[in-house]
Structure 1
Amino acid sequence: MSERRNVLFIIIDQLRADCLHGALADHVDLPNMRALMAEAVTFNRHFSVTNPCGPSRASILTGQYAMNHRSVRNGTPLRHDTPTIASEMRKAGYLPMLFGYTDTSHDPRVQAPTDPAMQTYEFPMAGFAEQVEMRLEMSYPWRSYLLSKGYTWDSYWQLYIPGGDGSRLNAPAVYKAEDSDTAFLTNRFLDTMPAYADEDWFAHLTYIRPHPPLVAPAPYNDMYDPTSLPLPTRIGTRKDEAAVHPFFGPALDNAPIASFVIGCSGVTPTDDTIQTLRSVYLGLATEVDHHIGRVMSFLKESGQWDDTLLIVTADHAEMLGDHHAWGKHSVYDAAYHTPLIIRAPGGKAGQDVDAPTESIDLTPTILDWVGQEVPNSMDGRSLLPFLNGETPDDWRDYSFSELDFSEPEALTLWEKRLGTDTSNSSLGILRDDRFTLVEFAADLPPLLFDHHGKGEMENVAEDPAFASDLARLTRQMLRHRMRNMDHTLSLDTITNDGPKRQSRHQPNR
């Protein structure tokens, strides 16, 4: 490997891990990501530490659990002085280039109310140099491109109606595949990066697909036969699913299947509808894979492949009809289990890692690889040892995630039906080798899934045979929260000789 150190950090929005390894893997064509896996390290038990989009990206880019950064909803501000991958890569001498979006809500204490950053939760994170604005609810450069190509519309959101009239769920988008948002973003990346070939660079490339609205250009719209796909994992009927725990009734009603498409009438959760939308989702995933292949080819053809740390992951996952649910406001693995593929020049190739990893590990990994100190505020740990074929002796044996289901501006369905408020409408999820524990801040019963038994198909929290396991995991969750309280300044000391700091990540005592 040369002395050059480039970083390409790709996030795909809402891609499930089982598209690459699991239930859907045999039903979706992702040749470029699979080729990358053969040259990289694949992390099989990688989980987002929080949902939805804004919070998940805040955790990824700050290396912090949501309990510390507290940007827990789309629209909840991230504190302006929080160390991020952008701020720390600048310290390392890199210009953090953003192609896409970070879904960052800015701190109103340091912004005027009239500042454009105060009008959208999709604003780019401070420190990034936005190369092209590509945000789902805005995307003005893409709109201008489409207008220049002769496309017309009365409302921007008409672009997301299948077929333009919504008469068929899997009708093609009104734009050609060569003009899609995914193609446009990739083109802008490929048009920009050749000039940086003579210097170290850091680029964050973020794809909105396969995030809804579920509409795909031809041929991706009907690439997969809905009847050939496996049905979602479900516990009986929708009513049976809601009866498992009080949380699930509001969860099912919060994100109905009809909310995943625009301009289509009469969208009900029949198996035909579910399988059709699952097939469109997989088509969008294949479209993203095609363009990631173009990016990989660019790195190889430009001679930068062996100078570049390449990370491909997702911000969070998607229920996609599992447990009769859609979206990511859930407790089940389908909403949090994301793919993670990392190729490090000189690192292991074709290796799988089964140790639990978390989305907060990615920023520390990048900083470690470029030789930049990881701030004490970051809860994640560098994955570099795994890329070199080693497993640290003190590596975690569980993963942890959080979800906030409140809304300050208007009561959510959970708050209305469960009587919770903004202080206790939250939950924590702890997963070890055998069990998943879900604990609530409100006075609600826990959930416990035994993966040596029926897994997520059966809640065993009230079974006396699992009482000791429930108690042990509850203590583990409490200890986890205590050990990971905010360390931003907790290892700093003001002394007679001036301020001193110990490293959380490389203790010297």
Structure 2
Amino acid sequence: MKYYKIKSIIVLTFTVFLFACGTKPKADLVPSKREKPNILFIAVDDLRPELNFYGASHIKSPNLDKLASQSLIFNKAYCNIPVCGASRASLMTGARPTRKRFINAHIKKDEDYPEAISLPMLLRKNGYKTISNGKIYHYKNDDSKAWDEIWQADRLWSYALTESQDIRKNTKRGLPFEAAEVHDSVYRDGKLALKVIQDLNKLKQSNQPFFLTMGLAKPHLPFTAPKKYWDLYNRDEIELPESYVQPKTTPKQAFHNYGELRQYENIPKRGDLPEALAKELIHGYYACVSYIDAQIGLVLEELKRLELEDDTIVILWGDHGWNLGDHKLWCKHVTFETALRTPLMIKVPGKTKGQKTDAITEYIDIYPSLAELVGLESPNTVDGKSFVPILNGQKSKKDWAVSKFKDAVTLIKGDLFYTEWTDDKGIAYARMLFDHKTDPLELDNLAEKPEYQDKVKNLSMELREKWGEDFLK
């Protein structure tokens, strides 16, 4: 049985789930037109744009492909910081990271920027039912006043097998991957899909517009998914990336020891990974992408069955990119394009049908765009710029983005990626420049070449103009 043909099993499981919760699913509910559109907000952890609609034909993701065919796809979308907690807080507030705000995975919006009115808070204040499901902020109860309801599955359900769960209980992170002969709903994201489906059935019966989130845990480590998704890929056909090299011209500050991965069991503590292990990790990542694709498909199918499609904006984003051996790196935490470029698409009923845009878009632009689409004005703490004009067929006037991680700050300007490592006073102590027209894999650092010094000087000035007034404060 193909992995996406599991409807009968899921319907049975879902029915039992709803009855257990005291809710009876209804197929004959009368649709109601709302004054304001609903928003289904799908966040995917560590999802890189290695997907069919971005040109990666080897990925099995039919549901994401279908959603993309109904959406506006952003070819050049970039997170503002490549680490989950900070990226999510920045996106949800529409505010840029600075040297002291939104700096790592463990920050909280409530502590770093308590005065900012978050997107869910803005919507809740304006009549929306707001439900946080899964991983939206890094911490479950961050920005808690913005939500009518917060729900997460137990983290232990990252593993299905008892022996894997026991290892997780007694180690820092547990095993890096698992392929188990189990039903989708045994893992966290399967439970998440059932919860979101339950919410859709409840929300269908209300005239109140909703902001419903689906925060998927995969393909974040550990790469755990039902075995049928692993079976979609032949490991003998998996290859290490073409950019599996660290050129000497690239500053040493650009690389790290991928400590996040090394905390898992059976991963070497230093040095390059053995090739077989590297391919097993890539295999697991692909399996997890196909697994979450199936869960997203179930939710989108239910949205359609309940006749909520025409009233609902669907937006899907990954919180940052991810390295799968690119530059001999794993995980994120760098300012190479592989960690900064992200999948982003938005389905707006009556407006989108598979269009693509090359307009450079930052994640802080998502907040003002959604606010405008539902007829709300963004607060003055929002730094982003709405991309609604692109949805209306206009050409974007913005051709740049700024991303940072620790001391590294990157200006993305057209095809140029310019990064400086700066101290607390904004003085640069290392730099790199890549031209994606001639070097899409970022293997030739141009920043120290004599013929590029005028270009570097101009980009350095522009970086400081665009990184935000509060950047050094």
Counterpart position of 1:30 = 61
Are residues 1:476 and 2:457 paired?
no
Q: Deviations over 1:386-431 (max 9, x none)?
A: 2222224xx2111110112xxxxxxxxxxxxxxxxxxxxx121111
How far apart, in 1, do the equivalents of 2:450 and 2:126 lie? Answer: 54
Are residues 1:454 and 2:444 paired?
no
1:311 Cα deviation from its structure 2 partner? 0.1
How far apart, in 1, do the equivalents of 2:247 and 2:403 lie? Answer: 22
How far apart, in 2, do the equivalents of 1:264 and 1:279 lie? Answer: 17
How far apart, in 2, do the equivalents of 1:21 and 1:330 lie? Answer: 25
Counterpart position of 2:9 = none
How far apart, in 2, do the equivalents of 1:97 and 1:355 lie? Answer: 31
Are residues 1:16 and 2:16 paired?
no
Are residues 1:81 and 2:93 paired?
no
TM-score by length of 1: 0.77
1:26 Cα deviation from its structure 2 partner? 1.2
Query: What secondary structure sits across from 2:87 in the alignment?
Result: helix
Counterpart position of 2:152 = 133
Q: Deviations over 1:166-185 (max 9, x none)?
A: 6xx76514754331111101
CA separation of 1:434 and 1:194: change in aligned 2, threshold 3 A: same
Root-mean-square deviation (CA, aligned residues, Å) is: 2.9
TM-score by length of 2: 0.83
Counterpart position of 1:71 = 102
Q: Structure 1 stretches of 5 or more lacking a match?
A: 105-120, 405-425, 487-509
Counterpart position of 2:71 = 40
Match of 2:200 among 174, 189, 193: 193
After TM superposition, the structure 1 = structure 2 runs for residues 104-503 of structure 1, keeping only pairs within 5 Å, are 104=138, 121-126=139-144, 127-134=146-153, 139=155, 153-154=165-166, 156-157=168-169, 171-173=178-180, 175-197=182-204, 198-199=206-207, 200-234=209-243, 236=245, 240-241=246-247, 244-248=250-254, 251-255=255-259, 257-259=261-263, 262-264=264-266, 269-392=273-396, 395-404=397-406, 426-442=407-423, 443-455=428-440, 456-482=442-468, 484-485=469-470
Whether the 8 Å contact between 2:102 and 2:112 is mirrored in structure 1 is yes
Query: What secondary structure sits across from 2:323 in the alignment?
Result: coil
CA separation of 1:243 and 1:152: change in aligned 2, threshold 3 A: closer
Specify the code of the residue in structure 2 equivalent to 1:458.
D
How far apart, in 1, do the equivalents of 2:299 and 2:467 lie? Answer: 39
How far apart, in 1, do the equivalents of 2:265 and 2:464 lie? Answer: 46
How far apart, in 2, do the equivalents of 1:34 and 1:160 lie? Answer: 36
CA separation of 1:449 and 1:44: change in aligned 2, threshold 3 A: same
Q: Deviations over 1:6-52 (max 9, x none)?
A: 111111000001324446x1111111111111111101000101121
CA separation of 1:27 and 1:95: change in aligned 2, threshold 3 A: same
CA separation of 1:69 and 1:350: change in aligned 2, threshold 3 A: farther
CA separation of 1:265 and 1:330: change in aligned 2, threshold 3 A: closer
How far apart, in 2, do the equivalents of 1:334 and 1:255 lie? Answer: 17
Query: What secondary structure sits across from 1:172 in the alignment?
Result: strand
Query: What secondary structure sits across from 1:306 in the alignment?
Result: helix
Counterpart position of 2:128 = 94
How far apart, in 1, do the equivalents of 2:417 and 2:368 lie? Answer: 26
CA separation of 1:355 and 1:307: change in aligned 2, threshold 3 A: same
Aligned length: 426
Q: Structure 2 stretches of 5 or more lacking a match?
A: 1-32
Specify the code of the residue in structure 1 equivalent to 2:202.
A
